[in-house]
Chains A and B, each alone.
Chain A
Amino acid sequence: MKFRTLFMKELREMLSTQTILMMVVSVVILTFAGKAMTNAVEDSAETMMDINICDLDDTEFTRNMIKFMTANITSLGGEVNTVEITSDDYAAELKKADVRNVVIIPAGFTESVENNEAATVRYVQRLNSLATLSNMNTGSQVAVEYLTAAVKQVVYNTKVAGGKLTNGEVSFLNEPIHLEESTVVADKSEDISASVVMSLCSAQGMIVPIMMFVLVMMSSNMILNAVSTEKIDKTLETLLSAPISRLSVIAAKMLSAAVVAAMQAAVYMIGAKSMMNGVLDNVSGNTGYSEALRDLGLTMNASQYVLVGLQMFLSILIALSVSLILGVLARDAKSAQTLTLPIMMCTMIPYMLSMFVDIKTMSPAVKYIVYAIPFTHSFMASENAMFGNTDVYVGGLIYQVIFLAVCMFMALRIFMSDRIFTMTLGGKRSKKAEQ
């Protein structure tokens, strides 16, 4: 009986409105992110089996191979599109053909097969994002498998039917196709597999959003606590009745938080840069991958770090100004904690999405909802800088500046008025303040 009473009391305290709200919010976030990711995966899955092929050999053998491949792929729900590639400038060629990938059968392919030599096939893929689910395509593997099967079929028909195979013909049959891969990023291309690029960049792709998340949450907590504690402890009343302007009080708070946030952003960016340099030097030191990544523009240079740092700083300033408003709403320490929820939600959604999907390619409705969250643009900043998405970067930057100006204006309005003392969570006036 006594234990039950104690247990119920503890449970009631722990299962507060705030705890329940956090659970509900988590479910909402995960559901939204899951739905958005499902849509992205479905979109990718629809085109996953599609093969874009360019036949530069153009012999009866290659034409028959493509027919054979087309029949099989179509029966599996995919498509085989023939595209024209006329130069080695794959970035320009993919753009011209309006495709993200292409399998190229080079001139001399048939001749190599006839000479029992491994025939080369090139697979070129454009990377638009480093998000894990944004580059799902099995076209290359499928194409290589079909080409291998077709070559083997020909060899069996012509050679095996003719009698015993030589040693050379047997080893040729083991690996009749030699796959060469190229990756295109923005207007650059390098002879490196897209999957290798993705693996090498995954650390960078993970670190920046994690840093961003931590920074936004830390800085918003910092100012939210600073304002709510002043209000709860009534030091704010003492401060605002001193012979100083309210603008000075708010400016001092914002500036000091911004200085700390800028220091944090700079430290994190320097740390990230040295970490990435270390990763690239150690992992790909002897393979030439490091140079390939640099040539593709996937290792950020100093100016790109500045651009990313700028958007990160703007996000922090936005978080600070929103927190300033939210801090005013706090009635006590518990409500101050609850007030971090909107910021957490607005940070978690783009954080999760940017790690898994290419936000730019999501359905317009979802995309613009996610774009409306100002922190999204900072999560996308490093990718935008590396992939040369200048329009998206600049658009995001302008939006963030406008959002910041609106938030600052609102924060100032609240701070300069009676609302600083009378507003509480839910928009209702504090009864105590009205006494």
Chain B
Amino acid sequence: MENEKVLEVKGLSKQYKKGVYASEKVTFDVHKGEIFALIGPNGAGKTTTIRMISTLLQATEGDALVSGHSILTEPEKVRKCITYLPDEAGAYKNMKGIDYLKFMAELYADNNSQAEEYVKRGREICELGDRLNDKIASYSRGMQRKLLLARAIMSKPDLAILDEPTSGLDIINALEIRRMIKLLASDGMSFLLSSHNMLEIEYVSDRVGIIAKGHLLETGTPAELIDKYKADNLEDVFELVVMKKDITGW
């Protein structure tokens, strides 16, 4: 992991109605080659924060810089540096897997040869072999997820934002994906993950941010947090932090 910041989130807020924040003054950084995971209960504001960083939603306060580009003033430059894999995302079912990779590669690449390079990498990552010539409609959920994940990382973005990257995958496939994420991170790619799977987060992430009711309550490495809360594992830390928020309103 290097010290260079790929993502700087500075007081990012999203207000839907007056006084109702889906996400409030969220601040954290992700460094080059780092895997940062946002964890929190349902409705905590993870997806809103991720969507703001992905330039899908507009922040009502604060800003975030991706590779030095502001999500508010340079959204297209930000999109050039990131890829986003939403939770439960689908692909175009009438397309063949290979055509989907080509389609997405052409959106990210600056020229044909770069697009071809992305597709080649995508084929290797997804490991779907000849099934890439079949329509996506015929894929199992796991195959589809692998294709989407390959799409998200084939262009080697500065920051890959993955919402529940292993959801719907069996243990073997999930393990493969986690190993791949760690491998790519060691190669310099940064990741912002969101997951409900605490074991996965504990295994894969370098640092963790615990978010509840729109507030980022804790950040640190899993080991630091476990030590701080004198817990057995990250799941216990999560429970303690979220319960503390519920009881004290902190």
Contacts and interface: CB of A to CB of B under 8 A. Distances in A.
A241 B89 contact: no
B51 interface: yes
A237 B84 contact: yes
Interface in B81-120: 82-93, 104, 107-108
Contacts of B93: 233
A92 B90 CA distance: 67
B86 A234 contact: yes
B16 A422 contact: yes
A156 B44 CA distance: 102
A243 B77 CA distance: 7
B55 interface: yes
A234 B83 contact: no
A435 B42 contact: yes
Interface string A204-243: 0000000000000000000000000000011101111111
Nearest to B152: A238
B202 to A, nearest CB: 23
B56 A421 contact: yes
A240 B54 CA distance: 9
B225 interface: no
B91 A235 contact: yes
Contacts of A434: 16, 22, 43, 48
B76 to A, nearest CB: 6
Contacts, number: 72
B146 interface: no
B80 interface: yes
A418 B91 CA distance: 22
Contacts of B55: 240-241
B215 interface: no
A241 B91 contact: no
Given A421-B51, A434-B48, A238 B76 contact: no
B31 interface: no
Contacts of A421: 51, 56-57
Contacts of B91: 233, 235
B84 A435 contact: no
B167 interface: no
B58 interface: yes
Interface in B36-64: 42-48, 51, 54-58
Nearest to B161: A241
A429 B15 CA distance: 13
B79 interface: yes
Given A243-B76, A243-B107, A233 B84 contact: no
B81 to A, nearest CB: 9
A238 B47 contact: no
Contacts of B82: 241
A53 to B, nearest CB: 68
A235 B16 contact: no
A412 to B, nearest CB: 16
Interface string B105-148: 00110000000000000000000000000000000000000001
A245 B104 contact: no
Most chain A beta carbons < 10 A, residue from B43, B56, B85:
B56
Interface string B183-202: 00000000000000000000
Nearest to B41: A435
A233 B51 CA distance: 16
Given A422-B16, A435-B42, A435-B46, A241 B90 contact: no
Given A418-B57, A421-B51, A243 B89 contact: no
A238 B58 CA distance: 16
Contacts of A237: 51, 54, 56, 84, 86, 89
B90 A233 contact: yes
A240 B56 contact: yes
A429 B58 contact: no
A241 B44 contact: no
Contacts of B51: 237, 421
Nearest to B46: A435
Interface in A237-254: 237-245
A429 B57 CA distance: 13
Contacts of A234: 86-90
Contacts of B89: 233-235, 237-238
A435 B47 contact: yes
A241 B16 contact: no
Interface in A376-435: 417-418, 421-422, 429, 431-435
Nearest to A420: B56
A418 B23 CA distance: 15
B80 to A, nearest CB: 4
B44 A435 contact: yes
Interface in A53-80: none
A238 B155 CA distance: 14
15 contacts: A238-B84, A240-B56, A241-B55, A242-B79, A242-B104, A243-B76, A243-B108, A245-B76, A421-B57, A422-B16, A431-B43, A432-B47, A433-B47, A435-B22, A435-B45
Interface of A: 233-235, 237-245, 417-418, 421-422, 429, 431-435
Given A238-B151, A243-B108, 13 more contacts: A233-B93, A234-B89, A238-B84, A239-B107, A241-B55, A242-B79, A242-B107, A242-B108, A243-B79, A244-B79, A418-B57, A435-B46, A435-B48
- 3 closest A-B pairs by beta carbon, nearest first, are A233-B90, A241-B84, A243-B80
